[in-house]
Every structure is written in C-alpha cells, then in structure tokens.
C-alpha cells in the first residue's frame, strides 16, 4: 500500500513538472542549479545557456537528495515502457530505451509530422528529405552556402554517428550562425569540430566549437550558444561571388588525433604560409625559420626583418625524418600521413588536391574527380576523353584575325591527368604547347607530339615532340613550346589549309 502511495505521489509531482528542468522539461540532471526568477535548471542547460551564468544561481542540493530517494517512471511510459528506476539508473536507461522516439528535425520548417524510433531517424531523412542528407568519411565534409538569406538543416552521417547541422544568417546583425547537435544524445567530454570558411581567394576564416546536445535540434535557434562569423569578413574572402565553401572537420573521442607528432609539428609551421616546413628549411640571421616555398619570395625575415642568406636550419631538418607529416590537403579530406620525403611524393598526385578550371573566365574549383565531372558537363566541346589522347584540326594559314591569340585550346583527360593543349598563331610562325594541369609530377613523364600533315599527300608529315610543361603563364608558354615557321607550314598546306594532329604520350 505504501509502495502504491509513493508511486501515486511520484506520478502526481511528475505531472506538476516539479522534478523537471524549466528549460528543457526533462528530469533534472545534477548538479541542479536554482536560478533566480527562472527556477530549477539541469546541468546541461546551465552549461549551454551562457546568460544563466550571469544570473544569481545556487546548487539545489536538497532537490538532488530527494531525487536520489525516488523511483521514477521512464519518460517513454506512454510509448509502452513500464520501467520504474532509481534516479541514477533512469538517466542511463532512457538514453537506450527501446521505446524512445524522435521527432523529425525539419518539422518546424517543412511541417513534417514524422515521429519514430531514434534508430529510424536517419532512414526517415534519407527517404523523405534526401536533399538534406550529407554522408561523409574521414571526419570531413564540404558545404557550399550563400551569404544571403540562409536557413538550412542538414543530417550529417559519419560512419555510425549522426548529427544535425543548423545554419542561418542574420542580415540585421551581419552574422552567420551555426551549430552541430548530436542526434543520439550521447554526452562526451571530447566531441568538437572546426570549420574553415573559404572563398575564391586563398584566405579563409577558421572557427572551432563543441557539438551540442539534441535539445538544441528542436528548440528555437539560440544565437547565444551558436558559432558566429562576421558576414562582411566572409564577403571579403568570397570576393566576386556571394558563395563560400565551408569545410567541416569533426573530432570525436575515437578520432582524436592530438598526439606527439601534432605537438611537434607546431614548431615546423612556416610563419608566412602556415604550412609545415620540409627540407630544405632556411633561416634568417637571427635564427627564424621559413619554408623553401616562401624563401624565394622574401628578402627579409617576416618576424624580425633581418636579411635572409642561404643559411639552412639543419637541426630542424634532422628532426623531420622522425615526424609524421599530414598531407598538405588534409583539411580537404586526405587522411594520409608520412615522413617528409614520402608525403611530398604523395602530395604531387593527391586525389584531394584542389584544381581550378583550366579554361579562361571559368571560376569553378574542386578536387580531381570534381574537376573531371565539371569539364565533361560544361566544356564537353573542348574536352577529349574516353581513351583518346589527342585530336586533329585544320586552320587557314593566312587568317590574320587569329594572330597573337590562342586560337585553339582543348583539354585531354588521359593517364589519370588533365592536359591543357594550346595553339597560338603569329604573323610568321605558329606555336603548340601542352601542360600537365594542376600537377607537380616529373615533367619528363609525358611528352606531346605535333604532326603537320600534307592532305594532298598524307604520307608527307612533319613531326616534332617535346616534354609536357607544368601549368605556366601564357608568356612562359610562348618561350617553351614547339614552333613551326610559316615558311615550312606553307609547304604542307592544301589550298591554304593546314592540318595537324596533337597527341599526348606517356614515356
């Protein structure tokens, strides 16, 4: 009888919300804080609501003691759970209760009324809101967003972990706000993420924050606990467009990479480009080090303004043989790490290496596969692929309107590389050149061949070959190309038309 009376008493005070947090409406989690003019607040809400720390609050220890003496029903009782447990057991049970349900995270924006088991949460998103799902590996994903009015919700699926990203702009405050919340309500002492906001320039803005609880998925967007970035600063790095690329990198307990190598690598950071220095490493007269890429561009040390000589930091170079360098493109998703000599070779052909479109006036960028897809989709009339390694073309030799201009530019996708082929005419000669675009491989790996054919007698040919260049300026291209004088070309013309074959070959 006494047990029934206690059970009735507990149900009664539960219905009155006497044991609930005034903010999240969940059973109070210790340490419970009694906040002036607010009421009892659980530990999770007190930590996440920054403004509460500015108010007068006291630990409500008597309430904690009362809770520990009670046996409480599972919050999913109405869903079919009949468990009644001690306060400490209850919190653990509810996190894994098989009757536990979730609302659709988009119900406020789309009116979706789905409610179901948390294990079906991701399945529902995929089936009903597929355009809001981002699957990713290696703890990194990319998201392009507008700097104008923005209000988005994305489901992030990383292996077995599921998160919700909420992002929006406030044009009045000129701020971009966002937060990532854990769908599964798992509390972790280490669960954080960083974001690089990149535009069309090399500059970027980086932020870092912790992943929040699922409570923030369903409540009003709280700008006080969200990460905020200045919209005007983002506009500056986006330059012409109003679009930025957000590179999210999530760190969890099982993916934490803060190890000895990372701590040591801090001392290898170049003060100019912020990349890690690899041999040869140079230093100024005062002993400040700089990487071999930035050294040729500077006369004076950026730290102390001392003159640079040819002095190298051999002590620092000696340490590189025992340090695991992350790939230069690790922020773009590459998981590779190796000693300096090995990682440098890897970086030349890294699949995550960013490419810009090889055609003038096109600003598209992306990794190798993204760029291949872009070229085929938007420049198909000037792209050779599907096994072909070159093309044939004809032009009129006396057409003076093409002088000093590149009159023919094409791309060849072959040998897992992108080649840019260019033809240029002058008053007294014609030029042909081929570049291995966006790659730092040994240039003697590939050659290009230009064949001038007399179409009156196809067996009559003039053939020249040369090594492919790395992508260079147009001025440099004119100095290092294959050149045919017009006096020779005219002897191969057919009624003033010159026919040529332009091919790429692997040595």
For the chain, the domains span 2-96, 102-255, 260-348, 355-506
Strands, E assignment, 114-260: 115-117, 133-136, 140-146, 151-158, 161-170, 175-182, 192-198, 204-210, 227-230, 243-251
Query: Which sign does the torsion angle of CA 216, 221, 224, 225 carry?
Result: positive
Q: Which helix (H) or strand (E) holds 421?
A: strand 417-425
pTM: 0.52
Report the alpha-carbon angle 266-272-275, nearest 5. Answer: 45
Residue of higher predicted confidence among 201 and 483:
483
Residue of higher predicted confidence among 476 and 374:
374
131-147 tens-digit pLDDT: 899 888 777 888 888 88
Mean model confidence pLDDT for the chain:
83
Tokens 């490419």 found at: 355
Stretch 471-494: mean pLDDT, rounded?
85
Report the alpha-carbon angle 237-239-241, nearest 5. Answer: 115
Classified by CATH at the fold level, domain 2-96 comes out as Herpes Virus-1 (3.30.40)
Stretch 69-74: mean pLDDT, rounded?
83
Task: Give the Å distances, CA to CA, from 295 to 34, 87, 223, 247, 300.
Answer: 60, 64, 44, 29, 9
Residues 118/183, Cβ–Cβ less than 8 Å: yes
Task: Please give the pLDDT value at position 452.
Answer: 95
Task: Please give the pLDDT value at position 383.
Answer: 94
Residue by residue, what is the 3-state secondary structure of 43-111?
A: HHHHHHCHHHHHCCEEECHHHHHHHHHCEEECCCHHHCCCCEEEHHHHHHHHHHCCCCEEECCCHHHHC
Task: Please give the pLDDT value at position 168.
Answer: 93
Stretch 333-351: mean pLDDT, rounded?
84
Classified by CATH at the fold level, domain 102-255 comes out as 2.60.210
Task: Give the Å distances, CA to CA, from 350 to 272, 328, 472, 504, 506.
Answer: 23, 9, 20, 22, 19
Query: Which sign does the torsion angle of CA 146, 147, 148, 149 carry?
Result: positive
Residue 317's pLDDT band (boundaries 50, 70, 90)?
confident
19-46 tens-digit pLDDT: 888 888 888 878 888 888 888 888 888 8
Residue 499's pLDDT band (boundaries 50, 70, 90)?
very high
Strand pairing of 406-414 and 383-384? parallel
Task: Please give the pLDDT value at position 483.
Answer: 92
Residue 96's pLDDT band (boundaries 50, 70, 90)?
low
Q: Which of 373, 379, 414, 408 is nearest to 394 (CA)?
A: 408
Residue 3's pLDDT band (boundaries 50, 70, 90)?
very low
Q: Which of 73, 67, 38, 66 is nearest to 53 (CA)?
A: 38
For the domain made up of 260-348, the CATH class stated in words is alpha beta
Residue 202's pLDDT band (boundaries 50, 70, 90)?
low
For the domain made up of 355-506, the CATH class stated in words is mainly beta
Residue of higher predicted confidence among 189 and 485:
485
Percent of the chain whose predicted confidence (pLDDT) is above 70: 90
Burial of 45 (0-12, 13-18, 19+ CB in 10 A): buried
Task: Please give the pLDDT value at position 2.
Answer: 47
pLDDT over 90 at 335, yes or no: no
Stretch 402-421: mean pLDDT, rounded?
81
Task: Please give the pLDDT value at position 448.
Answer: 94
437-469 tens-digit pLDDT: 877 666 678 999 999 999 999 899 999 999 998
Residues 399/491, Cβ–Cβ less than 8 Å: no
CB contact set of 217 (below 8 Å; sequence gap of 6+): 105, 164, 166, 181, 183
Tokens read off for 18:
């006497």
Stretch 394-415: mean pLDDT, rounded?
77
353-404 tens-digit pLDDT: 888 888 887 877 777 888 898 999 999 999 999 889 999 999 888 876 665 5
Tokens read off for 435:
């570049």
pLDDT over 50 at 1, yes or no: no
Stretch 73-92: mean pLDDT, rounded?
81
Task: Please give the pLDDT value at position 489.
Answer: 92
Decide whether 102-255 matches 355-506 in CATH topology.
Answer: yes
Q: How far apart are the C-alpha atoms of 298 and 173, rounded to whole Å?
A: 40
**Range with the poorest average pLDDT among 10-14, 76-80, 356-360, 482-486:** 10-14
Residue of higher predicted confidence among 382 and 113:
382
Residue 344's pLDDT band (boundaries 50, 70, 90)?
confident
pLDDT over 70 at 157, yes or no: yes
pLDDT over 50 at 257, yes or no: no
pLDDT over 80 at 273, yes or no: yes
Q: Helix (H, G, I), strand (E, B), or coil: what is residue 240?
A: coil
Residues 416/348, Cβ–Cβ less than 8 Å: no
Task: Please give the pLDDT value at position 189.
Answer: 46
């Amino acid at each position: 009888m006494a047990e029934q009376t206690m059970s009735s008493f507990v149900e009664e005070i539960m219905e009155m919300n006497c044991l609930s947090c005034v903010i999240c409406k969940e059973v109070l989690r210790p340490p419970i804080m009694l906040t002036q003019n607010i009421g009892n607040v659980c530990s999770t809400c007190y930590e996440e609501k920054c403004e509460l720390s500015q108010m007068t609050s006291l630990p409500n220890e008597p309430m904690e003691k009362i809770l520990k003496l009670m046996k409480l029903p599972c919050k999913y009782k109405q869903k079919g759970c009949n468990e009644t447990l001690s306060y400490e057991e209850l919190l653990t049970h509810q996190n894994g209760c098989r009757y536990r349900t979730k609302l659709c995270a988009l119900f406020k924006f789309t009116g979706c009324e789905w409610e179901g088991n948390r294990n079906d949460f991701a399945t529902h998103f995929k089936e009903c809101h597929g355009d809001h799902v981002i699957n990713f590996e290696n703890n990194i994903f990319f998201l392009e967003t507008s700097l104008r009015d923005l209000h988005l919700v994305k489901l992030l699926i990383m292996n077995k972990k599921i998160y919700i990203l909420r992002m929006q702009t406030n044009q009045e405050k000129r701020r971009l706000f966002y937060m990532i919340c854990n769908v599964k309500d798992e509390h972790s002492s280490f669960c954080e993420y960083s974001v690089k906001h990149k535009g069309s320039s090399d500059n970027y803005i980086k932020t870092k924050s912790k992943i929040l609880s699922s409570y923030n998925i369903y409540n009003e967007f709280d700008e006080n606990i969200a990460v905020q970035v200045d919209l005007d600063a983002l506009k500056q790095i986006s330059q012409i467009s109003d679009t930025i690329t957000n590179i999210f990198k999530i760190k969890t307990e099982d993916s934490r990479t803060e190890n000895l190598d990372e701590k040591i690598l801090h001392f290898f950071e170049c003060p100019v480009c912020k990349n890690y220095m690899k041999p040869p490493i140079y230093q100024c007269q005062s002993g400040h080090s700089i990487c071999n890429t930035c050294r040729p561009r500077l006369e004076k040390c950026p730290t102390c303004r001392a003159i640079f000589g040819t002095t190298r930091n051999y002590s620092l170079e000696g340490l590189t043989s025992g340090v695991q360098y992350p790939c230069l493109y690790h922020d773009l998703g590459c998981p590779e790490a190796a000693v300096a000599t090995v990682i440098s070779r890897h970086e030349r052909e890294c699949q995550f290496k960013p490419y810009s479109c090889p055609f003038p006036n096109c600003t598209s960028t992306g990794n190798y596969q993204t760029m291949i897809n872009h070229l085929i989709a938007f420049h198909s009339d000037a792209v050779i692929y599907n096994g072909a390694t070159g093309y044939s073309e004809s032009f009129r030799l006396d057409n003076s309107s093409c002088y000093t201009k590149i009159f023919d530019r094409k791309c060849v996708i072959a040998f897992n590389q992108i080649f840019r082929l260019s033809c240029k005419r002058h008053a007294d000669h014609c030029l042909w050149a081929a570049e291995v675009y966006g790659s730092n491989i040994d240039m003697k790996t590939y050659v290009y061949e230009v064949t001038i054919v007399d179409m009156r007698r196809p067996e009559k040919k003039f053939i020249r070959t040369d090594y492919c260049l790395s992508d260079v300026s147009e001025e440099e291209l004119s100095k290092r190309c294959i050149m045919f004088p017009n006096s020779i070309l005219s002897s191969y013309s057919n009624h003033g038309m010159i026919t040529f074959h332009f091919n790429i070959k692997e040595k």
